[in-house]
Amino acid sequence: MALNLSQKQEVVAELADVAAKAHSLVAAEYAGITVSQMTAMRKKARETGVYLRVVKNTLASRAVAGTEYEVVQDKLVGPLLYAFSTEEPGAAGRLIKEFAKGNDKLKAQVVAVGGQLYPASHVEVLASLPTLHQALAMLARVLTEPVTMFARAVKAVGEQQGGGAESAPEATAEVVADAAPEAPAESA
């Protein structure tokens, strides 16, 4: 169905708004994908925070003008599916990579992140980026590692000096008992 001018302007405005907020863009050739496969991909895209849209290249080119994805304008050739990652940078790459495994007709053509244009093969790199939860878990691990190493070193020094693990709880209990102020007597 052909769009009239006002509908095209709405599509460009919507796509420009998404592009302005997106972390990454993957444009993939989708010719030959069945309706059921496209429906499944759209469902997965909604679940993972990916804005997925099939739109004419001229409209997409106008929409990305003035955004960091302006670098892709010359590469928008052929029937393309646009996947913008709105929550995590690697989400669009993971989506396209996952569905390309099951369908050899889905091929990434353009990958853009942070105003940089990358070859289509970089969809693998984009897909390998950690999710937000994975990144937070890695950060927590990095932050707790020095404390863990210090605790192990203190324990090793204590064991070398003959204190061992058997006397450590007793010594800790004595120190805590000595350091604790006496509780005031309850008044009735």
For range 136-141, the mean pLDDT: 84
Share of the chain above pLDDT 70, in %: 86
Q: How many CB atoms within 10 Å of residue 188?
A: 3
Q: What pLDDT digit, counting tens, does each position of 54-88 carry?
A: 989 889 888 888 888 888 888 888 888 999 988 88
Q: How far apart are CA 134 and CA 89, in angstroms?
A: 13
Q: What is the pTM of this model?
A: 0.67
- What are the structural domains of the chain? 5-129 (3.30.70.1730), 134-179 (no CATH)
In this prediction, residue 163 carries a pLDDT of 61
Tokens in use for 93? Answer: 């790459």
Residue 24 predicted with pLDDT over 80: yes
Beta bridge partners of 24: 85, 113
SS3 of residue 32 by DSSP: coil
